[in-house]
Structure formats: structure tokens, C-alpha cells
């Protein structure tokens, strides 16, 4: 459960100006204090955000939930959350606790906000900042985490949480308290924009930072269009003009982080499935922005690049608030009908593009002797195709509704956790429905996230059944229809079948969820 939100008062510009001149919040982050050899601990972050909230009436510290080990997850709300006319932007850092640059960058941004900088943002936006999402993983510091990354040489946290779950693969099954805290935040505050801060240690390219929009092909098209045609190009131009750095779409080439079955030397993005934060948020009809600092730049450079990316993203959002809100509202209002993808694969661009490849030097961590790769200021333009979009390889019909039997508690609870609206039949009801008959199924050989993922094969047949009282009716005439489809379609590559939630029914050659015939 989220804690009670602290009281928020609408602040006039005059009052804010008086606060700016009366005090200055000067607390440094752990990297700044250690000459960028160390990253912030949980205690460091809590001390920082607590002090920042005390220093400025525009910052309000609350909690978005808890970790598996019971640490409260800090959430700093900047601005008046009660003002529903403003754009709400969620900024999340440290989902992978070895990728610490976002955690440090947002603390610097909070310090700037506490000191009155970026006041124009708050004229049209409210910020919800979660600086240390994987707080348990953050505390498992080792000098040997994140091999080859160029510092911090004093070590960093681990990728998974205390359950050994990758939190950036838990957005559909919601098996961690952190993921449930996150979707509870979305259900409560409904941010229209979300920024997720990472660090990539793949291909040796020449970009200081790469980014990505939601990648699932079922994402509302105008969200993709806004990001690819306008928002990302504007941010890229601004960074090049002001910082003289190159930013581009996230990617890897074969042999250096690209998909294992890739053959062509090209620039490949990552996965489309909504288990990933960015793709999940896209299926909620919200604008999601992934940031990936470059592991082989210095720790200080990575923090700075992440900070500047967030600043330019927010500058664009401030200048285009009305258009952004209109895209989100249109996504919520658009009927979801026809055929949508249940499986997809990367599709090549029609033409080649110029990718800036780079080089690294090899250094040793002075405390472990471990190899570290250090970015060289080298840009090697190379023409290649890019694989930045996903195309459906299999589709299914979107029904008007799904019917979940009342004994499928795990499915019903999962839908509720995601914020899906449902109804229950008060009495038994005879209806024409479609039932999926399972011909066969297969599971992955290797376990992933504690699961051997399942794929079923079969067909939908029309029949008439009597739905018992208590049957849960899940209408797709609601904003979360795209997410509902991904969860409940049996052939979905990231739904309740994939994550073994209905294995007992599958063992009886039955998929328990029915769908309407229209």
C-alpha cells in the first residue's frame, strides 16, 4: 500500500522566488563527495531526499511502497499533485542497481529544483521522482559487479533484487513487491509520461547515451510517432548543440550485445515484450522513454549525460504539454478492435543509416585488477541497416470481453493489481463464447525468473456455455485494453500462459479464460 501523500500546497511564483533567495540547498551526492569513486547507498539517498524536501516547499517526500527486505521506496513529488490540469511525469532510476547513473543524476536534479532552477517545468508539470527503485539490490555492493564497466571503482550494486528477480522483467507477472508498488503508483497517480534510467554495457559505440520508445507493436501509434518524429529528434539536436555529444536510439551489433540469432551486421534494438518497463507502460497508453548511459564513459560523464537527457526531455515536455496530453487522451479513447499482435520479431529498416561506432582502451581497477573498458573519443561512421521496430508474426482478434472463471484467483488478483476494471456476473448466464482448445504445449528448457515459460498451441472454437455466478467479465472497452489482450490471449508471448499462471488448467488441455464472440 502507498503511504498517505503529504499535504501539497499550490505555490505562487512570488513565493517560490522568496524561497530561492532565502536559502540554498548545497548537499552533495556520494559521487561528488568521493571524486566519483563511489555510488550512493540507500542511506545516502534517503538523507539526500529528506534534506531536499526540508529545504524547499516545492518538494514533498513520500513512499511508493516497499522492497522485499522492507525498505521504503522514496518518491519525491515536485509540484502540486492535486492539480489535474498539469502533465504528470514519472522518473525512475536504479531498476538495475549496478546501473547507478540515474540514481545520482536525479539527486542532482532534485537539488537544482530545491534551489529554484527549472521553475518553468512546474508551471505545466508535476514530477514524481523515484531515485532508488531497486533499493535492496543497491545495498549488495561488490567491486566485481558490472564487469568491464568503467567504475565507480568503489563498486556498485547488483542487477536483481533481493528475490534474485530482474525487476525489468517483472511488469506482467508482478512477483516482486517493487513491481506491485510501481503499478500501484500508476493506478493512483496515472503519470502520462515515464522516464526509465539505465546504463548499457554492450556494443562499443560512440554515443554517450542511447534511448528507446515503447517497442511493442500494439502500442498506440501516435505515441510512437510523437517520440520518433518529434521528441527524440528535438532532444538529440539540443544535446548536440549544447553539449557536443551524440545521442541515438538504443542498439547493439552482432557479437556485442545484439540478439543471438542475428546474422546481418546491423543496429539491433532489444525486446518488444511488456515484461520490460518501457514496453509495459506503452501498453498502458502512456509515453515511455528509456535512457541508457554508456558504461565505458567515465562515471562522472555518465551521470552528466543522464542528467542532461532528463533535462532536455523535460524541457520538451514543458513546451509541448498540450500536445502530449492530447496523445495520451486519444490513446485512452481509441477503441481497440480488430487484430493485434500476440508475437512479433524485429523488422529491418528499408534503408541503411549511419551508426557511430567507437573504440575503448583497457584499464585495470586499482583495487581488484579487474579489466575496465574506457571510452576513447573516436567516432567511426558505419553504414548499416537498423532493426528498431517490431512487426507482428502472429495476430489474434480482440474480443469485446474475456470471461475469467471465479476459481481462477491468481488471474483475477493479477488483473486487479494491474488496475484492470472488471465486473462479476451476479447469477449464472448462458452465452455464446469462444473456447481455446489446447492441442499441445511446450516449455523452455532453461528456467528464467523462476519459471519455465510456456507456449500453447491450439484453436478457438465457438460454443455455448453457462457461465457460473461470480464469473469475472473483463471488457476491452477500457483504456487498459491493450494490456488486457497481452495478459489474457493464450498465444501471447508474455501473458498468463507464458508465466505458468494457468498451468493446472493447461494440463487438462483447457485454457480457462473464454472470450466473447463479438
Lowest pLDDT segment from 72-76, 199-203, 255-259, 394-398? 255-259
Q: In this model, does residue 1 exceed pLDDT 90?
A: no
Lowest pLDDT segment from 251-265, 340-354, 403-417? 251-265
Q: Are 415 and 486 spatial neighbours (Cβ–Cβ below 8 Å)?
A: no
Distance of CA 337 to the CA centre of its chain: 26
What does pTM read for this prediction?
Answer: 0.94
CA-atom Rg of the chain in angstroms: 23
**Consecutive H or E run containing 186:** helix 177-189
Q: Are 474 and 422 spatial neighbours (Cβ–Cβ below 8 Å)?
A: yes
Q: In this model, does residue 87 exceed pLDDT 90?
A: yes
Average model confidence (pLDDT) for the chain? 94
**In this structure, what C-alpha cell is assigned to residue 304?**
552528466
For the range 217-220, what are the long-range contacts, defined as Cβ-Cβ under 8 Å and sequence gap of 24 or more?
Answer: 217/272, 217/341, 217/344, 217/389, 217/390, 217/391, 217/392, 218/283, 218/340, 218/341, 218/482, 218/485, 218/486, 219/279, 219/282, 219/283, 219/482, 220/282, 220/285, 220/327, 220/330, 220/331, 220/334, 220/482
Residue boundaries of the structural domains of the chain: 43-334, 399-516
Q: In this model, does residue 508 exceed pLDDT 90?
A: no
Average pLDDT on 436-450 reads 96
Q: In this model, does residue 31 exceed pLDDT 90?
A: yes
- Longest CA–CA separation in the chain, Å: 73
Q: In this model, does residue 4 exceed pLDDT 70?
A: no
**In this structure, what C-alpha cell is assigned to residue 139?**
545495498
pLDDT tens, position by position, 279-320: 999 999 999 999 999 999 999 999 999 999 999 999 999 999
Q: In this model, does residue 114 exceed pLDDT 80?
A: yes
Which of the listed CATH numbers 3.40.630.10, 3.30.450.20, 3.40.1260.10, 4.10.490.10 matches domain 43-334?
3.40.630.10
Would you call 310 exposed, middle or buried from its count of C-beta atoms within 10 A (0-12, 13-18, 19+)? buried
Q: In this model, does residue 485 exceed pLDDT 60?
A: yes
Work out the number of other CB atoms within 10 angstroms of the CB of residue 230: 13
Q: Are 363 and 307 spatial neighbours (Cβ–Cβ below 8 Å)?
A: no
Q: Tell me how far apart the alpha carbons of residues 504 and 409 are, in angstroms, rounded to a whole number.
A: 13
pLDDT tens, position by position, 199-253: 999 999 999 999 999 999 999 999 999 999 999 999 999 999 999 999 999 999 9
Amino acid at each position: 500500500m502507498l503511504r498517505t501523500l503529504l499535504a501539497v500546497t499550490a505555490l505562487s511564483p512570488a513565493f517560490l522566488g522568496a524561497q530561492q533567495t532565502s536559502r540554498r540547498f548545497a548537499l552533495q551526492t556520494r559521487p561528488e563527495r568521493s571524486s566519483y569513486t563511489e555510488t550512493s547507498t540507500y542511506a545516502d539517498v534517503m538523507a539526500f531526499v529528506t534534506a531536499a524536501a526540508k529545504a524547499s516547499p516545492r518538494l514533498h517526500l513520500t513512499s511508493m511502497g516497499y522492497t522485499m527486505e522492507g525498505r521504503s521506496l522514496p518518491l519525491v513529488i515536485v509540484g502540486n499533485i492535486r492539480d489535474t490540469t498539469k502533465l504528470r511525469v514519472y522518473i525512475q532510476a536504479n531498476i538495475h542497481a549496478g546501473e547507478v547513473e540515474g540514481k545520482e543524476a536525479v539527486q542532482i536534479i532534485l537539488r537544482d529544483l530545491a534551489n529554484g532552477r527549472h521553475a518553468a517545468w512546474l508551471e505545466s508539470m508535476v514530477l514524481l521522482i523515484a531515485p532508488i527503485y531497486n533499493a535492496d539490490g543497491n545495498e549488495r555492493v561488490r567491486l566485481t559487479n558490472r564487469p568491464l564497466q568503467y567504475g565507480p571503482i568503489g563498486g556498485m550494486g547488483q542487477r536483481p533484487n533481493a528475490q534474485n528477480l530482474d525487476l525489468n522483467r517483472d511488469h506482467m507477472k508482478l512477483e516482486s513487491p517493487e513491481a506491485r508498488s510501481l503499478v500501484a503508483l500508476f493506478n493512483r497517480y496515472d503519470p502520462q509520461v515515464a522516464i526509465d534510467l539505465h546504463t548499457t554495457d554492450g556494443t562499443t559505440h560512440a554515443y554517450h547515451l542511447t534511448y528507446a520508445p515503447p517497442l511493442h507493436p500494439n502500442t498506440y501509434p501516435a505515441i510512437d510517432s510523437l517520440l520518433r518524429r518529434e521528441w527524440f529528434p528535438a532532444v538529440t539536436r539540443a544535446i548536440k548543440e549544447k553539449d557536443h555529444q551524440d545521442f541515438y536510439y538504443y542498439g547493439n551489433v552482432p557479437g556485442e550485445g545484439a540478439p543471438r540469432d542475428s546474422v546481418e551486421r546491423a543496429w539491433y534494438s532489444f525486446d518488444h515484450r511488456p515484461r520490460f518497463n518501457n514496453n509495459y507502460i506503452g501498453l498502458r497508453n502512456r509515453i515511455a522513454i528509456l535512457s541508457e548511459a554508456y558504461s565505458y564513459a567515465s562515471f562522472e560523464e555518465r551521470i552528466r549525460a543522464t542528467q542532461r537527457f532528463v533535462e532536455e526531455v523535460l524541457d520538451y515536455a514543458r513546451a509541448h504539454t498540450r500536445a502530449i496530453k492530447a496523445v495520451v487522451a486519444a490513446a485512452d479513447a481509441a477503441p481497440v478492435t480488430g487484430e493485434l499482435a500476440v508475437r512479433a520479431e524485429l523488422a529491418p529498416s528499408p534503408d541503411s543509416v549511419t551508426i557511430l561506432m567507437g573504440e575503448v582502451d583497457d584499464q585495470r581497477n586499482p583495487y581488484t585488477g579487474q579489466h575496465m573498458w574506457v571510452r576513447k573519443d573516436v567516432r567511426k561512421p558505419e553504414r548499416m541497416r537498423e532493426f528498431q521496430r517490431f512487426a507482428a508474426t502472429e495476430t489474434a482478434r480482440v474480443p469485446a470481453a474475456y470471461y475469467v472463471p471465479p476459481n481462477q484467483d491468481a488471474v483475477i488478483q493479477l488483473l486487479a493489481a494491474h488496475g484492470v476494471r472488471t465486473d462479476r456476473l451476479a447469477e449464472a448466464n448462458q452465452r455464446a463464447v469462444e473456447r481455446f482448445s489446447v492441442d499441445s504445449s511446450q516449455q523452455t528448457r532453461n528456467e528464467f525468473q523462476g519459471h519455465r515459460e510456456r507456449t500453447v498451441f491450439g484453436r478457438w472454437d465457438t460454443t455455448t456455455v453457462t457461465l457460473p455466478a461470480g464469473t469475472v467479465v473483463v471488457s476491452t472497452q477500457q483504456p487498459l485494453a491493450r494490456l488486457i489482450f497481452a495478459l489474457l490471449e493464450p498465444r501471447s508471448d508474455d501473458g498468463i500462459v507464458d508465466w505458468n499462471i494457468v498451468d493446472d488448467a493447461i494440463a487438462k488441455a483447457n485454457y480457462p479464460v473464454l472470450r466473447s464472440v463479438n
